[in-house]
Structure 1
Amino acid sequence: MSTLTVSYAEGLRDRLTDPEQAANYLSAALDEGDSEVFLLALRDVAEARGMSEVARTAQLNRENLYRMLSSQGNPRLSSLRSLLEGVGLRLSVEVAPA
């Protein structure tokens, strides 16, 4: 009897194609309070959707997208908004718990 195994990376990629799962994943990364963690999570989401497709949808240059999501990336708010919209998400602000 054979056992089907899926690597963590494959399973994550599959889950991140679901907008709800992607939003939860990014929210958890934001909760860490480290911008590098958030950029890595955002890169995971973009890779799950396909970087070329995300770049096209977000109207961003693919090379700039990779640079923006690198460990040295420091995306502008407008680029971040475009990228999130390119993966079917958006930024929002909420009241912090007291």
Structure 2
Amino acid sequence: MAKRKAPKLRRFDPANYLKSEKDIALYLNACLQEGGDDPAFIAAALGDIARSKGISDLAEKTGMTRAGLYKALAKDGNPSFGAVLKIVHAMGLEIRIAPQR
């Protein structure tokens, strides 16, 4: 029996699927529900969105450097709340507060 080659798999990157503001909002809300207490998880989700939008464009809109943006949105990043607000607003999103369910 001849050996078959294993298929090449590519790593899933959510940034490739975040095409519209609605996609982005749904993704970020799902991430907030899933990992809301984990700032690294949320920073990584914001990083996914930033890559989908273009890091250079987002850096320009936030007034942050590309390096600063990458650092803030890295898995081990710990962005300030002010940085998160700048990033979210530059993405065309807003943060809302609602009672817990």
User: In the alignment, which residue of structure 2 is the partner of 1:66?
Assistant: 70
Alpha-carbon deviation of 1:15?
3.4
Provide the secondary structure at the position in 2 that maps to 1:27.
helix
Q: Distance in 2 between matches of 1:39 and 1:88?
A: 17
Q: Distance in 1 between matches of 2:19 and 2:53?
A: 6
User: In the alignment, which residue of structure 2 is the partner of 1:3?
Assistant: none
Is 1:88 the counterpart of 2:92 in the alignment? yes
TM-score computed with the length of structure 2 as normaliser: 0.79
Larger Rg: 2
TM-score computed with the length of structure 1 as normaliser: 0.81
Runs of 4+ in 1 over 6 A off after TM superposition: none
Number of residues paired by the alignment?
90
Name which of 12, 15, 18 aligns with 1:13: 15
Q: Is the 8 A contact 1:46 1:54 kept in 2?
A: yes
Match runs of 1:23-38 below 5 Å:
23-33=25-35, 34-38=38-42
Instruction: Give per-residue Cα distances to partners, 1:8-60, cap 9 Å, x unaligned.
Output: 53xx4353131111011011111123222211111110000000001111221
Q: Distance in 2 between matches of 1:8 and 1:70?
A: 17
User: In the alignment, which residue of structure 2 is the partner of 1:46?
Assistant: 50
Q: Is the 8 A contact 1:17 1:45 kept in 2?
A: no
Please identify which structure carries the higher helix content. 1
Q: Is the 8 A contact 1:16 1:48 kept in 2?
A: yes
Q: Distance in 1 between matches of 2:70 and 2:27?
A: 19
* Consecutive unaligned residues in structure 1, runs of 5 or more: 1-6
